[in-house]
Amino acid sequence: MEGIEKVSGFLDKTKTYYLATVDGDQPRVRPFGTILLYEGKLYIQTGKVKPVSQQLAANPKAELCAFDGETGTWLRIAGELINDDSRDVKVAMLEKYPELKFMYNPDDDNTQVLFFKDATATFSSFTAAPETVKI
């Protein structure tokens, strides 16, 4: 399995991750769940009206963290989240998460997908050496 597939599979399994952004000198963090591996890039989804989106527009640096209690492994991804206005990715994201379709559609000027760029994913546990994947 390629590294990025392992990362996306981990996030599919844990379902919830916590996404941190930068707001001036204040860190902000919130639960997220959307994740899509599309054409070799790792995407998340949000709404342009949300503060998280505005924070990423001002400063794309972000970090997420998820924990798999079954294996005692956690994953952190640190890098930049870059907006992608391609309609096909938005469609694919909403196909993966059809429950979002009551709130979002690809042409609503709010639905936003962003992909990780220049990112490092690190798997950690108390029992094994950290493993890193460049994204």
Does the footprint of ligand FMN cover residue 16 (CB under 6 A)? Answer: yes
Q: Choose, by CB under 6 A, the member of 3, 20, 22, 28 that binds ligand FMN.
A: 28
By 3-state DSSP, what share of the chain in percent is helix, strand and coil, each rounded to 5? Answer: 25, 45, 30
The one-letter amino acid code at 40 reads G
Task: Give the list of residues 6+ apart from residue 53 with CB closer than 8 angstroms, or none.
Answer: 46, 47, 112
User: Residues 91-110 vs ligand FMN: string with x where CB under 6 A?
Assistant: --------------------
Shortest distance in whole angstroms from residue 126 CB to ligand FMN? 25
Looking at the Cβ atoms of 27 and 40, the one nearer to ligand FMN is 27
What radius of gyration, in Å, describes the C-alpha atoms of the chain? 15
User: Residues 46-85 vs ligand FMN: string with x where CB under 6 A?
Assistant: xx--xxx---------------------------------
Residue position matching structure tokens 């609503």: 108
